[in-house]
Amino acid sequence: MPDPGNSQQLRVTAVCLGNICRSPIAEAVLRDRIQAAGLSEKVIVDSAGTGDWHLGHEADPRSQAILSQNGYLLTHSARQITSSWMAEIDIILVMDSSNYLNVEALMRDSGFEPELYMIRSFDPDLAHYDNLSLELDVPDPYYDRDNGFALVLKMIERAADEFVAGLPARLNQ
């Protein structure tokens, strides 16, 4: 949990639908990049889903496998984001436009306004797209029989690199 007395500490939450595929991958990648940048004491990363289907479950075995194959560590138990979380979050990175709209509604209900972004809006090749553009969606690999999890990992890695590169300037504001 973030230290409430540390105003320089940011809490970043990655959000997808069920919190077993995309957002756990984002959580692991972001933590890795934040640690490599020496920002672990200043930036806290977690993840959640907008739905409650998988509460308490581990990440999908395919998410775990692709992370492990690429050197990432993840200990995970699926959670659901609610409006009560909004006061504690600084930045929310959602995986698709549906998640964006769901989180936006939770924000309205809460009265708090953390920064809300599609995670791929940080990909420099996609920065010209509007925040709700379908081009920014990270596809849900849950029903994918091919390389969907590998594709999701690559999309998230590219966006995470740019997101984390911008953190030092944000922390020094």
Q: Are 127 and 45 in contact (CB under 8 A)?
A: no
pLDDT in the model for residue 159: 98
Q: Are 64 and 75 in contact (CB under 8 A)?
A: no
All structural domains of the chain with their residue ranges: 10-171
**What's the per-residue H, E or C state across 109-127?**
HHCCCCEEEEHHHHCCCCC
**Catalytic: 130?**
no
Q: What is the value of pTM for the model shown?
A: 0.93
Confidence grade of residue 114 (pLDDT, cut at 50, 70, 90) = very high
Backbone conformation region of residue 125, classed left if phi is above 0, alpha if psi is from -120 to 50, else beta: alpha
Q: Which of 21, 22, 31, 137 is catalytic?
A: 22
Q: Which of 16, 33, 60, 96 is catalytic?
A: 16
Cα separation, 39 vs 112, in Å, equals 25
pLDDT in tens, 122-156: 999 999 999 889 999 999 999 987 799 999 999 99
pLDDT in tens, 12-47: 999 999 999 999 999 999 999 999 999 999 999 999
pLDDT in the model for residue 7: 54
Cα separation, 92 vs 13, in Å, equals 5
**Catalytic: 21?**
no
Q: Which of 32, 60, 123, 140 is catalytic?
A: 140
Cα separation, 66 vs 39, in Å, equals 24
Q: What percent of the chain has pLDDT over 70?
A: 95
pLDDT in the model for residue 8: 63
Domain 10-171: what homologous superfamily? Response regulator (3.40.50.2300)
pLDDT in tens, 71-93: 999 999 999 999 999 999 999 99
Sequence-distant (6+) residues with CB within 8 A of 138 are 16, 22, 95, 96, 119, 120, 152, 155, 156
| Angle at the Cα of 78 from the Cα atoms of 107 and 43, rounded to 5 degrees | 60
Neighbours of 166 (CB within 10 A): 10
**Catalytic: 16?**
yes
